[in-house]
Amino acid sequence: MTSRRPARDLRASDSDRDRVLAVLTDATADGRLSQDEFAERMSRAVSATTLGELHVLTSDLASTPVVHVDAGRVISGIFAPARRSGRWVVPDTLMVTAVRSTVEVDFREALLQDSRVRVNVNTVMGSVYLYVPDGIRVDVTGHALFGRRALGQNAGSAADPGAPVIEVHALVLGGKLVVRTPSKPRRFRLFPRREPGR
């Protein structure tokens, strides 16, 4: 059995480095970093190869991490809203709970380590919103009692058999689960179609 690489050891992308550089620039502009500190951190950001190296550069500057390397397996909103978004590493199993609150989980900029991810959703009089990018299939199973499930376009779609899959197992009690996926582009007609003979 192969051991999973820790999230902080995953390779950083150019967009990850750009996010960190933007935070460093803002922090210097409002006086939280000196020019020397900015130059030193900028040099480290440009040469960083892992998410962990980037994370330490902004951990004292941003209330929300620019890159979540230890996001955890549990997202819970119990009488208070919760949200996970931005650049974060998705574990192989994720537990999402909403009790009389709204929980949002945004996968659009997330890093999936596995081709299959299981998300266990439990909501009691609450709402869970999952935002999924194009190219990822969503399979939803489970039960909805006095609640509802609203699925996006690539939920359950088998268009690409090799696409990553998010398996959502849901128990919805008096609340709702909404999977939002990119909408298909609409075709607009500038002029009404002319009838033959007119």
**What is the tens place of the pLDDT at every residue in 64-119?**
777 777 767 899 999 999 999 988 889 889 999 999 999 999 999 998 888 999 99
Integer Cα distance of 196 and 193 in angstroms? 9
Q: Above 90 in pLDDT, residue 187?
A: no
Residue 1's pLDDT is what?
41
What's the distance, Cα to Cα, between the start and end of the chain in Å? 72
36, 46, 68, 92, 140 from 7: Cα distances, Å: 30, 19, 9, 12, 26
Residue 34's pLDDT is what?
92
Packing angle, helices 14-29 and 35-47, rounded to 10: 180
Mean pLDDT score of the chain: 84
Q: Above 90 in pLDDT, residue 185?
A: no
Residue 10's pLDDT is what?
87
Q: Above 70 in pLDDT, residue 154?
A: no
106, 135, 155, 182, 188 from 185: Cα distances, Å: 21, 15, 17, 9, 9
Of residues 55 and 67, more confidence is placed in 55
Q: Above 70 in pLDDT, residue 61?
A: yes
pLDDT tens for 1-38 read 445 678 888 898 898 999 899 899 988 988 999 999 99
Nearest C-alpha neighbor of 23 from the set 45, 8, 53: 45
Of residues 5 and 46, more confidence is placed in 46
Decide if 88 contacts 68 (C-beta within 8 A).
Answer: yes
Q: Model-level pTM greater than 0.85?
A: no
Integer Cα distance of 63 and 178 in angstroms? 28
Phi, psi of 194 (to 5 degrees): -85, 130
Q: Is residue 50 helix, strand or coil?
A: strand
Share of the chain above pLDDT 70, in %: 82
Domain ranges of the chain: 8-68, 74-180
Type of residue at 97: T
Q: Among 49-58, 76-85, 100-109, 148-157, name the one with the lowest average pLDDT.
A: 148-157
Length of the chain: 198
